[in-house]
Structure 1
């Protein structure tokens, strides 16, 4: 198997650039999906407290037979646990559900702009857990440049990762630039534009990027699938990417991207597909009142 690409975080931790996501994967399908991914060579698994499948991610890892040191486990704290008296409870509940003594990467799942003091308190808890050795690197998800600036002003450790929506139809260039300037790795969720396929819109530019001529022509040129072209675009531009699937063939396909690279002009052609159209929720509008979902930490 061709060696996979790795990236080094701002604290020196080296992680696989390509990971496996389980967003919206039902718990009953998560164990088999994770074990399949690990058998295929994935070594970074991304979950979250709010996904409701941390237990199954942990069980999938245990069933794989891999040594703990071989896998990078990433999870996230949900906004219902951001208050100072809840954040540590939420973190420890993640560890308990995963069945682990430590988690490799732990992120704040969303900013809460109107309650940003809670966001800061939650991140300060992550700093504490990093110092205790219960997490190897900490970060954020869905943070804008302004959110990053506000956070860094009040905390001690620059996030290692900012996990955000990035795909050819939404390159999120302003966030990517801010991340690069601050030494933060941009990690792409919905990296092949699935968010627009699962949540279709009549707005131009919100369709299936895998059917775009630029992508399909590159796929034909390299003898790859459109999804593999898009994932290679992420890797060649230095991002981490988290494709997801419950289908064994697709899981394997998404990992078979380490035997070719795209030319600079080809990367630029994919960049040019950006429509500026976000498929996911606007991080500025999310808080515990607009999105009252809570995680059961019992």
Structure 2
């Protein structure tokens, strides 16, 4: 397909809205392609911390920005019926002028928000089974005026979506997947596959993600899809950051950053996901990479 390389920035919604809005506007000014918002009931790693809601933020950011694409990274399927989520997504797509990417994930079994609001904490096996139906039904709702669906877990009966997606053929769907079963759902139903590695060794991360990308080629072929027709997104996660006060090693080392990006691109990834610095001292480095390094890497 020859997709262009895109760079996404995940901004954690733990600041007052005025500060959060300024962060996203700056991400847009710096030329990034996508601003992403996580979706949890609370900060799952620190529940008492401040935390703003994903879809309310995306709607607000649709008005506060003009060019950058907006994404949920990723919407947790336990929190909403697929019909409600599709309606939210279409609304944000309309408000933003067609700039939404709908990221979906199965959710975390260790997320404390599940117990906080009385949701059933599904097993990982059930999460994956539900996700297959969920992403299929959401894709139908985003692309059809009227949808009927009768699955084991989810149903829709003459569900009307008016207006529909502003983008054609519909809002792009991003599926977060690490293991084979979730990856097979991504291969079948998603426009973009999103994944990541939690290995603290960056060299091991690139190897792991490269192997996973090869496995995705096989899964696409198994469902009759051209592997080149699927965008591939990887989040650059630093497993040591929390223990080091939030500092991300790849913002302190241009050579490391370039090596990681080039390794992912060589493995077939088209979208590179970064994290907005939680350490204010790294913002100059983050902006330097955006202005001086990433433009060269795009080529």
TM superposition score category, shorter chain reference:
0.5 to 0.7
Could you tell me which residue of structure 1 aligns to residue 85 of structure 2? 90
Q: Which residue is equivalent to 1:121?
A: 133
Equivalent in 44, 49, 52 of residue 34 of structure 2: 44
Give CA deviations for 1:255-298 in whole Å, capped at 9, x if unaligned. Answer: 23345469xxxxxxxxxxxxxxxxxxxxxxxxxxxxxxxxxxxx
**By how many angstroms is 1:208 displaced?**
7.3
Distance 1:48 1:176, change over 3 A: same
- Using the TM superposition, give the Cα deviation of residue 39 of structure 1 relative to its aligned residue in structure 2, in angstroms: 0.6
Q: Mind listing any 5+ residue stretches in structure 2 that lack a counterpart?
A: 41-51, 108-123, 145-163, 221-226
1:2-21 aligned within 5 A:
8=3, 16-21=5-10
Q: Distance in 1 between matches of 2:2 and 2:100?
A: 14
Q: Does 1:196 align with 2:243?
A: no
User: Could you tell me whether the CA contact under 8 Å between 1:105 and 1:139 is conserved in 2?
Assistant: yes
Closer/same/farther in 2, CA of residues 93 and 58 from structure 1, 3 Å limit: closer
Shift of the 259–90 alpha-carbon distance from structure 1 to 2, 3 Å rule, reads: closer
Q: Work out the CA distance in 1 between the residues paired with 2:55 and 2:286.
A: 19
Q: 1:49 to 1:115 in 2, by over 3 A?
A: closer
SS of residue matched to 1:49: coil
Q: Is the 8 A contact 1:95 1:103 kept in 2?
A: no
Conservation of the 8 A alpha-carbon contact between 2:6 and 2:33: no
State how far apart, in whole Å, the 1-side matches of 2:262 and 2:88 are.
35
| Aligned with residue 103 of structure 2, among 99, 104, 107 | 107
Q: Distance in 2 between matches of 1:31 and 1:261?
A: 27
Does structure 2 retain, via aligned residues, the 8 Å contact 1:179–1:185?
no
Instruction: Name the residue aligned to 1:159.
Output: 190
Q: C-alpha distance in 2, partners of 1:79/1:194? A: 25
- TM-score, L = length of structure 2: 0.59
Q: Could you tell me how far apart the structure 1 residues matched to 2:84 and 2:127 are?
A: 19
CA pair 103-179 structure 1, distance change in 2 beyond 3 A: farther
Distance 1:227 1:115, change over 3 A: closer
The one of 15, 20, 25 equivalent to 1:35 is: 25
CA 1:45–1:78: 2 relative to 1, 3 Å: same
How much does 1:80 deviate?
1.3
TM-score (normalizing by structure 1): 0.59
2:233 to 187, 194, 215: 187
TM-superposed deviation, 1:228: 4.4
In the TM superposition, what is the alpha-carbon distance from 1:37 to its structure 2 partner?
Answer: 0.8
Match of 1:138 in 2: 173
Q: 1:115 to 1:260 in 2, by over 3 A?
A: closer
- Please provide the CA RMSD for this pair: 3.7
The alignment of Structure 1 onto Structure 2 pairs a total of residues equal to 222
Structure 1 residues 170-206: Cα deviation after superposition (integer angstroms, max 9, x where no partner) = 23334221223422333112x1x32332257xxxxxx
Runs of 4+ more than 6 Å apart: none
1:130–1:138 contact (8 Å) kept in structure 2: no
2:11 is matched with which residue?
22
